[in-house]
Amino acid sequence: MLDLFGYGAFFLTMALSYAIICLGLNVQWGQTGLFNVGVAGFVATGAYASALLTTPDTPSRLGGFGLPIAAGWLGGALAAGLLTFVVGAITIRLRADYLAIATFGLAVMVQLALLNLEPLTGGPFGIGFIPRPFAATAGTPTLFAALNLGLLLLVVLLLYLALERLLRSPWGRVLRAIREDETAARALGKRADRFRLQAFAIGGAIMGLAGAVQAHFIGFIAPENYLPMLTFQVWAMLIVGGSGNNRGAILGAVVVWGLWAVSSSVIASLFPPGQQARAAALQISLIGLGLCAILLLRPRGILGEVRVISRHLAAREPDPKTRPSHAEP
């Protein structure tokens, strides 16, 4: 029973950390239409920034300030947000495929930098012994797992409420207007590039926060954790859950991560250890098939975007019961 609870808590905690990444991508793509395929780079930036701020020096690595975990999370979000802002200021005028190519190139550059800056990042060996929340309770696995899960639930809830309020504000309505028809939004006097840059930076900061959360929950990070596969996973989560819907982003993270965990267990039980590395490719195929099924059966995802009508427009709309019929003389 203890092992079952521990595994369930670990599964939900990891799923919720991915949900934070999905919420950031939803701000960029679901609300603004920014095609970012460099998710792994922004997550890695937040993870390494937080690890460097909170992990003490080691004989094989420079840096480390030993700051509290909360300061590391904040630093990770700010570092990723700043990187996103700088990159966005240069590339925000790009559209669709061109923005995707630019962000993918950035993710590759970040990973190569992490591999080669070995005195600071540990290179391919990564950074270990990252402080974990509630480490004092690690001797009691049930309490440790429950506290970490509760902390992640609180973070996701607060982030969800903040994004819901923000995206339902006039600022959020401008984002959706730019996504639907940028020319019309510009005709109304909205500076589309400024709003797109703001959404891009906010989404990147949220991804950095998720990277910091994952780093401190696992306690170890390495460049191989931030391969393009991470970007594919997050995009699959958002599309399955429902792009443009924050609840869909959270649900999609739980569903796809569950599918990933189950398929990993099945592969481990069906294939001998020597073949499991090759058989792991079946996980990607399974996620791809699930994504195709969702796109065919529910193109808008499990929880599609809810179209919101402005209160002012709703107030001007006549009541169908009192609307005069064209058939009347």
Q: What residue segments make up the domains of the chain, in order of their start?
A: 2-227
* pTM, entire model: 0.90
Q: Is the pLDDT of residue 208 over 90?
A: yes
Q: Supply 298's token pair.
A: 């529910």
Distances (CA, A) of 46 to 50, 84, 126, 177, 235: 6, 11, 14, 30, 19
Pick 285 or 156 by higher pLDDT. Answer: 156
Neighbouring C-alpha atoms within 13 Å toward the C-beta of 6: 9
Look at residue 63 in the predicted model and tell me its pLDDT.
60
**Distance in angstroms (rounded) separating the CA atoms of residues 218 and 216:** 6
Q: Which residue has the higher pLDDT, 128 or 59?
A: 128
Q: How many CB atoms lie within 10 A of CB 295?
A: 13
Judged against a pLDDT cut of 80, whether residue 307 lies above it is answered with no
- Sort 5 into a burial class: Cβ within 10 Å, 0-12 / 13-18 / 19+: middle
Cα angle for residues 247, 198, 192 (degrees, 5° grid): 105
**3 state DSSP class of 58:** strand
Start-to-end C-alpha separation, the chain? 74
3-class SS at 256?
A: helix
Task: Give the tokens for residue 140.
Answer: 């009691």
Contacts of 245 (CB under 8 A, 6+ apart): 26, 30, 301, 303, 304, 305, 306
Contact between 21 and 236 under an 8 Å Cβ cutoff? The reply is no
Write down the pLDDT at residue 84. Answer: 96
pLDDT at residue 291 in the model: 84
In whole angstroms, what is the distance from residue 5 CA to residue 8 CA? 5
CB 16 within 8 A of CB 249: no
Tell me the mean pLDDT in the region 8-31. 95
Where are the alpha helices (H) located in the chain, listed in sequence order?
2-25, 39-54, 69-91, 96-116, 118-121, 141-167, 170-180, 182-187, 192-218, 228-241, 246-270, 276-279, 281-297, 311-316
Which of 135-139, 207-211, 259-263, 299-303 has the largest mean confidence?
Answer: 207-211
Region 144-170 average pLDDT: 95
pLDDT at 329: 39
Q: Residue 313 — pLDDT band, cuts 50, 70, 90? A: very low
pLDDT for residue 269: 81
Contacts of 169-173 spanning 24+ positions with Cβ under 8 A: 171/195, 171/198, 172/31, 173/308, 173/310
Q: CA 325 to CA 91: how far, in whole Å? A: 52
Measured in degrees and rounded to the nearest 5, phi and psi for residue 88 equal -65, -35
Mean pLDDT, the chain, whole residue set: 88
